[in-house]
Structure 1
């Protein structure tokens, strides 16, 4: 994932199933792209099926590209800590495995510092220990096309209704001033 517009910022974040993060970020004004991907592992160009085994080291993640003039980076990160439970180690609800871990992948020292500050803020409102890792961004591999913008393509799918909708609704309630108009 490379930045094509120097005015845009891209964060690569993992917080459970990437379908949920994708759907929640797409609701925010200033987000110009969300791309579901795999990163953080050792297997080059893994398939979805390989990542699902939990043996590749990769996490399901999203590369969120946004305009920081419209959507402050702190809001992007606070939304991240709102849409998933950062106290659950290697899982989100019934999704279990290292591929569902909570992680932030930094592209440079400035991002690392912003991520650390966001994790510290989140610790103030989450009971329990925050297990979100902050690690250098390595190779990023795109998830299959069928997984891109999954919620919009499959709004009545059971997982979307049971898991994604509540997460999207939490973000919509907490960040109403940043929502796209209906």
Structure 2
């Protein structure tokens, strides 16, 4: 594994390295729009097959095709983010907003760390979707209070995840902690928040 910088060099001048929430969110929105466009293109490529009788029958009996399609979209997202993170530490949105992802130990990001970061990055979005779904069910359910409480708790957990870097001592997001990485300003990529 190639070392980009020594661990000691990475931890120097740490207070200047961590970006703020708005920069993180702007970069994330930029990348999300690109991934959305890729997923729309992939959907258009799959649509002709979805209307064939063979696939309609398979989907009607097992539901497996829908799950396979959804997993495929998640894999596309991983290839996008993982590819950029492992090759240069920057996605297109990160380049635009002058951010870079680096490992805390100074080594280059590998595909395993990129997978951990990607899966951790999905957690708040899944909580957001879960909370929204539960609140929608609350409208139609006789047990509306239980759905509302669960939905609000899921949304609060998602909000906590999105705001976490602002309150974390090292300004690390959940996915940074999970993968042993952090975001830094690209002009100061040698600096990582101190332990």
Q: Which structure shows the bigger proportion of residues in strand conformation?
A: 1
TM over 0.5: no
**TM-score w.r.t. structure 1 length?**
0.27
Using CA pairs below 8 Å that are at least 6 residues apart, which structure has the higher relative contact order? 2
Q: So what's the TM-score if we normalise by structure 2?
A: 0.26
